Structures are given as C-alpha cells and as structure tokens.
Amino acid sequence: MRVGQDNHEKTHLNDHTNAPQVNQALPSGFQLDQYRIERQLSLGGFSIVYLAYDEEGTPVAIKEYLPNSLALRGEGEIEPKISEEHQAAFRYGMKCFFEEGRALAKLMHPNVVRVLNFFRANGTVYMVMQFERGRTLHEYVHKHRDDLRERFLRGVFTRMLNGLREVHAHKLLHLDVKPSNIYLRTDGTPVLLDFGAARQTLMTGQPMLKPMYTPGFASPEQFAGRDALGPWSDIYSVGASLYACIGGSAPPRSDERRKNDTFKPATKVFADRYSEQLLETIDWCLKLDPLDRPQSVYALQKALVQRGPDEAMPASWFADVGSRLKSFIGRS
C-alpha cells in the first residue's frame, strides 16, 4: 500500500495526543523546504505532524512546532500569529523544540525513532523523522488483550530497552515512556517515539511553559523538578508501561501515591496470570524512592531475561519473539 492512500493506515505518529484543531494545518501539496506536504497525520498541544515526501519520493513524518496556547494560524495562512505577550514563551519553546531535534539527530539506533533533519521556516521550526509503518504497543495490547503472553512482553520490552540504553548513553532522558510511545514496526521491532526530554530539561524554571509528563507513567521526581531525575526516572515509566499492558490502565499517579499510596502491587493483582519473577520486576520499577528501583537499564534488562532465579531465556528466544511479533502484526 502506498503511504497516504488509506486514511486508516497505521503510522508511527497517528496516536499523537488528541487536541482541538485550533490551528490550521499546512495545505496538501505545500512545498516545505525540500519536502512536499501530503496531509496532516495528527496534532497535539505542542505540534502538528504531517506525512510528506522528500525530493526522491521517500515518505517522511514532519513535526511542526505550533503550540495551541501561544500561536494561531488561520485558514489560508502559512506563518502563525503570536501576540506580543506570548512572543517570549513562543521563542523559548521553539528553542527547546529545536534542541530536541538536535539531541535526537545524534541517536542512530534501530530501537529509537530516527530524526533525519530539522530546520527553521515560516516563523517556526520543523523536525523531519523517518516514516514507519505498524502500530503502537498501546493499540496492539488492546487488540490482543486476551492473548497477551509473558514471552511477548519480555521480548518487546527487552528490545525497546536497547534503545533506551542508547538514549541514556548520550546523557539524555526520555521522560515520556508509555505504551503509546512504543511503536511496533511491521517487522516486529519496537521503537521509542516522541521524546520530551530536551524540552522538559530546558523548561525547568520557566513558568511560562509547563513541564511535560503523562500522569500514571511519570515518576514522582518528575513532579518535583529535575534535580532528582536520572535513568531510574525512565525505569519507573517502563514499569508503569508493563503494568498498563497487563492491567489495561496505568498505576495511580505517583505524586498522589506519595500522599496516599493506593497502588496495588502487580504481585498481588496479577499473580494468577504471570510469573512471580516478572511481577516482582514490575513492582521493583514502581518503587516511589528512586534508590529502590533498578539504577540502570542494563539491570532491568537482566531481570527481564530471567524467567526464574536461575533460568535465563535462551538466545534463540529473541529471534522467535521477533518472528511472532511480525506474524501477529501482519494478521492485525
């Protein structure tokens, strides 16, 4: 199928945060630098995402910085209008968005979304990403709710964590790991999407722009500033994502847990469905004290490839999971 032919085709940005269509998208056929806009894929509070083609006809996804709260672009307009009172905030957010692109462009890993280009135009900035086909883990889990095997979960998250290790190796944090930001390509490989780390880091101390986090998946230290942030913060989100996959919803907000912890451990809630070792690993990631969690992605990966105290998964298992993913997604 040619990309853009079917409006129902799954893309790596089609589950972008839903938001009212305040700003008008760039029109189909618009020439943006070296890219031709095909159509809008999605929009969120910070941006609009387009399907576009480069000069060789290769499809790409382009994210346009266009925060609803600061800018307004009407019908037939190209450059957004920003009021005087919002100019400083808009420029600061644009700088953060540009820095996010700069940081991601340094990452070249099969399990991390590939940023191909980023540039300024039309009074704002654009991030060009490799276009992927498949579906989000969030979509996959809801479609296969009754057939979500432990082997599948261990395989997806262990592979995704290879990408997160690369992120941390570059002294970056993701800070928005959740099932809708873990994408399953059609060949079954998982890829991390939609980083907010650069923006979140730069926004610290800037009251005009709110920090970015997803309640239920964000670590408690994300609600308190950036001083305590580290790899363990992303690890909390990985635990919350695993919990959401097997339970259908995220754990209670971590900031509320600090006040009155109503969290029910995975070892108690899902004991009849998954191994004790996997559930203990999830609960380990979801400890409120950062020091009580795995301190590195590698430590978490070691736990995920162990089915029991002394039972490691065979090397062939990873290839098997990849083929199962490809088969499942192909049938979906």
What CATH number is attached to the domain comprising 120? 3.30.200.20
Q: Are residues 63 and 111 in the same domain?
A: yes
Query: Hey, how many other C-beta atoms are within 10 angstroms of the C-beta on 101?
Result: 22
Q: Are residues 159 and 296 in the same domain?
A: yes
Q: Are residues 88 and 140 in the same domain?
A: no
Q: Are residues 158 and 304 in the same domain?
A: yes
End position of a domain, from candidates 82, 106, 130: 130
End position of a domain, from candidates 130, 148, 164: 130
Q: What 3-state DSSP class applies to 280?
A: helix
Q: Do the beta carbons of residue 303 and residue 297 sit within 8 Å?
A: no
Q: Is residue 183 part of a domain?
A: yes
Render pLDDT for 280-301 as a digit per residue (tens, 0 to 9): 999 999 999 999 999 999 999 9
Q: Do the beta carbons of residue 75 and residue 24 sit within 8 Å?
A: yes
Q: Is residue 206 part of a domain?
A: yes
Q: Is residue 159 part of a domain?
A: yes
Q: Is residue 195 part of a domain?
A: yes
Q: Is residue 147 part of a domain?
A: yes
CATH code of the domain covering residue 153: 1.10.510.10
pLDDT of 261 above 70: yes
Helix count (H) and strand count (E) of the chain?
10, 11
Q: Is residue 6 part of a domain?
A: no
In sequence order, which ranges of the chain are alpha helices (DSSP H)? 87-105, 137-143, 150-169, 197-203, 231-247, 254-259, 266-269, 276-285, 297-304, 316-331
Q: Are residues 142 and 213 in the same domain?
A: yes
Q: For the chain, give the mean pLDDT.
A: 83
pLDDT at 195: 73
**Local confidence band at 236 (pLDDT 50, 70, 90 cut-offs):** very high
Structural domain harbouring 305: 136-331
User: Shortest CA distance to 117 belongs to which of 132, 134, 98, 133?
Assistant: 98
Q: Are residues 148 and 179 in the same domain?
A: yes
Q: Are residues 91 and 208 in the same domain?
A: no
For 177, phi then psi, to 5°, come to -70, 125
Q: Are residues 116 and 166 in the same domain?
A: no
Render pLDDT for 144-165 as a digit per residue (tens, 0 to 9): 988 899 999 999 999 999 999 9
Q: Are residues 126 and 175 in the same domain?
A: no
Q: Do the beta carbons of residue 26 and residue 41 sit within 8 Å?
A: no
pLDDT of 35 above 50: yes
pLDDT of 215 above 70: yes
Report the sign of the C-alpha dihedral through residues 199, 200, 206, 207, in that order: positive
Q: Are residues 189 and 308 in the same domain?
A: yes
pLDDT of 169 above 80: yes
Render pLDDT for 44-98 as a digit per residue (tens, 0 to 9): 778 899 999 999 999 999 999 998 889 999 999 999 999 999 999 899 888 888 8
Q: Is residue 8 part of a domain?
A: no
Q: Is residue 1 part of a domain?
A: no
Range 249-276 average pLDDT: 95
Range 10-20 average pLDDT: 45
pLDDT at 309: 45
Query: Hey, how many other C-beta atoms are within 10 angstroms of the C-beta on 154?
Result: 24
Residue 258 CA to residue 240 CA, distance in Å, equals 16
Residue 88 CA to residue 94 CA, distance in Å, equals 10
Q: What 3-state DSSP class applies to 31?
A: strand
Residue 195 CA to residue 237 CA, distance in Å, equals 13
How many structural domains are present in the chain?
A: 2
In sequence order, which ranges of 204-275 are alpha helices (DSSP H)? 231-247, 254-259, 266-269
Q: Are residues 113 and 187 in the same domain?
A: no
State pTM to two decimals.
0.81
* Block residue for tokens 């990849």: 322
End position of a domain, from candidates 130, 156, 181: 130
Render pLDDT for 94-143 as a digit per residue (tens, 0 to 9): 888 888 788 888 899 999 999 999 999 999 999 999 998 899 999 999 99
Range 323-328 average pLDDT: 51
pLDDT at 202: 42
Q: Are residues 142 and 44 in the same domain?
A: no
